Structure 1
């Protein structure tokens, strides 16, 4: 069922100062009419300030001069980039920049076929989809505010004005930051954003805070920069606030190569990679209070934010219906750190990688004006700007075809699709995994199921380490035709000596495989565990199989 669009609502004079309709009818469209004219030329200057609603007394973000690295502080405004601001001057003939002529761009037009809401399936798109033509000179011909003549040339590090407008509006619809001088700037995805942020905000030898298990590529980004991670203990809701507070209260520089107390927290709050955990609203508030106490800066990495799912009710229970409206969908999202950031101490990383396509290599950050300005200075000499073809295709899809209402419908569609995938893998685990040695909780968001292995029950637990047994299980799975990720790959402190009391984990991904493939893969994983733990013999015959396992075996037949 597709949610209906929000209808216009009348507001009283006393309400006129508030931004109460977060969707497009009373909010975005009205603001667009009052906003400065969007720049349509090559490398047109744009800022989120052009597209936001007014602050109406919101506080300013605090300054972070004491946290910026020497590298970040030393970056200057690019004279060539700043010169582009003059290109919109009427009658100006530019001989100053190195912009190639669009005459030599070998693309006259591009056609893209996109879904027409609410018909999002591949079959429906094939039959009912909308073809959007992108011409080289659509602006001159009065067909669009964005064309190939602009998109295929150099651009500003903030991204195209046309797509930045949509992103800024979307950020306000979903997060509505509670301080005044927030801004967005576009990126080439969250991996690049994190690398830039770490170079801006840390110095070689620093320690940074993160979940005890975290995105392994984030660790690999930090290590060459001379940074070390401090893993914060986790529970089913991710980082434990009291544990974070205790580590900071008890920080001893002499025990950490004379490094000062960490002040940068990197976290994946929703559908965390690799654990699948999601921090509740209350947990986020607790962590934010700890951040205020210790003056932490938070990098909120949220590629899975819109992959929040319906509650898991079990294989025999009816499915939970989808959100009834756009506002219902927005209310069901766990509030972001950005939405509670009264200090301007959060940099939120967003991306189209998980909700549209990773090959677009397009995302954005939201942070205070000071932080965004330093980020842009870095981007000007690193990525320059996101790819123009990706930007104009996303603009045609999101702005010209779907609008904000259609994009929210697409996100609701993803919510329900991923709910189905999550349900499939959970039901497969309940059927095929030996629960004597494997434990898990259904994730609320993301792409991952985190399996705890009771490795102390392994026949060789007294003679082998957890890492040795983990490797044997991994290799045995490969031999049976299933690949599951080792939890040790994601340890925040990979060089720390494992404790005999440490848990063992494996990560299963349910994002891409078909329902049939998920069932088969989990069955193979279950058989692997049974053999490795001596629950059945290697030829499939029963060994000392418990009564619960016999039920599962009978269920297969």
Structure 2
């Protein structure tokens, strides 16, 4: 589990010591081709935690009709001693054209590109040779839809470290990224023939809306403030729901991005999350918690500069607790991904939910994608589990937070310097990758004769002519047909260099000034 060890604090074993002791007690993990596994194999005792509620009434007819994959289940017999398989269509690893994969990776906690790296290698027969618990002969063959046992163990332990769900029968299931996970989850919970609908923020992830559209599932937006979704607005919408007027039955699902929300950058406080959870309990709403930016939670902009703590435990306590951490009912399906914090091209993430929901998700995955790529799993496992370990990965996330804090501060600094503040306003984000710029249309010389969409388009095209691309706020509006007297643009500090960000904001400023006829 890596060789970067957190020292004991005041003589008390660290959380990583506890994990290492648990692994040592469990013994060597033996998991071959398509090994059947789940989180229960790797979790700590539940210590009297309650079980999740039954969510059968929330499942779609499609989900309830999905049978288990017989061939996947038959793989469970392979663990019997001396078993020779003539049953499964597993190609022999003898014919895999990859004998070894080598990677140069950082050594925790030194993650800069200029720092020395280490070479790690993955062989075809490392398990047979006794040099590793996972190798190419296993990873590159067919696997279970839940993912490999090796990666399941790491993610289960990570979930326990970070969130410690307060009910007993939670599990994880790997995904082919969160976009795929959302599509499968929506189909699992919603059905167009029942006129199902979903609640979300009034501005939300555009791809999420595009996921719902062809499924025939309507999305309804809940008002927001600087902390994101407003619980009172949500309660009012649900309490006053009119199925005829809305053209859909009362929603029983909430989709939310609580931290660094895309596109607004808003982050829900713990108190806000508790209030929203209470509304969901009142109206029996199931929550899809989409958290790609959870670990990129930053200190306040222009806060008093204090040296950041180097203790991983301090990093953990500074994070706003997740919905999963306050979910006493098992009413949350949390989506995590390595896309925003490691490599988007891995297309590897995971869901955490009650065993009942994970089983239904697994049934869909078995026929939709058969689980995540073996290449992705073994490359990430080699880095996260065998090389860095849990502490090394968390130190990577700490470093990532620091890097994005610097980028955010740079973007906000040039916004302060160049954007016309009498027309443009914003709230400094405390998480994520996005800055949500609000443009006041009432200051436009041709408003209200011209619509806000027309003014928004003019600014967008002026910016394109100037050589800068910002996302239009209207692209993210959950209910585009409803009236809005606001103009927004989403800017990201994720990829452009600091110098380029300065140039881009100057160009955007010129585009706004031209539209508003400002000097």
* TM-score, normalised relative to structure 1: 0.90
Question: Which residue in 2 is equivalent to 1:267?
Answer: 256
1:509 to 483, 487, 492: 492
| Unaligned ranges ≥5, structure 2 | none
1:111 to 102, 114, 126: 102
- Deviation of the 1:206 alpha carbon: 1.4
What's the C-alpha RMSD, in Å, of the aligned pairs? 1.4
Question: Which residue in 1 is equivalent to 2:214?
Answer: 224
* Aligned positions of 1:235-254 closer than 5 A: 235-254=225-244
8 Å CA contact retained: 1:6, 1:326: no
- Deviation of the 1:23 alpha carbon: 2.4
Question: Which residue in 2 is equivalent to 1:16?
Answer: none
- Deviation of the 1:7 alpha carbon: 1.4
Aligned residue for 1:184, secondary structure, equals strand
For the structure 1 residues 271 and 93, does the alpha-carbon distance in structure 2 shift closer, same or farther, using more than 3 Å as the test?
same
Do residues 523 (structure 1) and 506 (structure 2) align? yes
Distance 1:430 1:358 in 2: 31
Do residues 313 (structure 1) and 302 (structure 2) align? yes
- Deviation of the 1:67 alpha carbon: 0.6
Question: Which residue in 1 is equivalent to 2:411?
Answer: 425
Distance 1:467 1:5 in 2: 54
For the structure 1 residues 49 and 10, does the alpha-carbon distance in structure 2 shift closer, same or farther, using more than 3 Å as the test?
farther
After TM superposition, where is structure 1 displaced by more than 4 Å over at least 4 residues in a row?
Answer: 8-11
Aligned residue for 2:435, secondary structure, equals strand
2:57 to 35, 50, 66: 66
Aligned residue for 1:282, secondary structure, equals helix
For the structure 1 residues 400 and 4, does the alpha-carbon distance in structure 2 shift closer, same or farther, using more than 3 Å as the test?
closer
Deviations 1:190-242 (A, max 9, x none): 00110000000001131100000000000000011111111000000000011
2:47 to 29, 41, 56: 56
| Unaligned ranges ≥5, structure 1 | 12-20, 537-557
- Deviation of the 1:387 alpha carbon: 0.4
Deviations 1:51-105 (A, max 9, x none): 1111111000000011100011011111100011111222111111111111111
Distance 2:401 2:270 in 1: 19
Distance 2:277 2:468 in 1: 40
For the structure 1 residues 458 and 22, does the alpha-carbon distance in structure 2 shift closer, same or farther, using more than 3 Å as the test?
farther
Distance 1:41 1:516 in 2: 50
Aligned length: 514
Bigger radius of gyration among the two: 1
* Aligned positions of 1:388-467 closer than 5 A: 388-467=374-453
* Aligned positions of 1:87-486 closer than 5 A: 87-124=78-115, 128-204=116-192, 205-257=195-247, 259-313=248-302, 319-486=305-472
Aligned residue for 1:139, secondary structure, equals helix
8 Å CA contact retained: 1:269, 1:279: yes
8 Å CA contact retained: 1:23, 1:405: no
8 Å CA contact retained: 2:473, 2:488: yes
Do residues 535 (structure 1) and 513 (structure 2) align? no
* Aligned positions of 1:538-549 closer than 5 A: none
Distance 1:448 1:22 in 2: 34
Aligned residue for 2:173, secondary structure, equals strand
For the structure 1 residues 457 and 22, does the alpha-carbon distance in structure 2 shift closer, same or farther, using more than 3 Å as the test?
farther
2:478 to 469, 492, 499: 492
8 Å CA contact retained: 1:310, 1:416: no
- Deviation of the 1:144 alpha carbon: 0.2
* TM-score, normalised relative to structure 2: 0.97
Distance 1:164 1:35 in 2: 15
Aligned residue for 1:306, secondary structure, equals coil
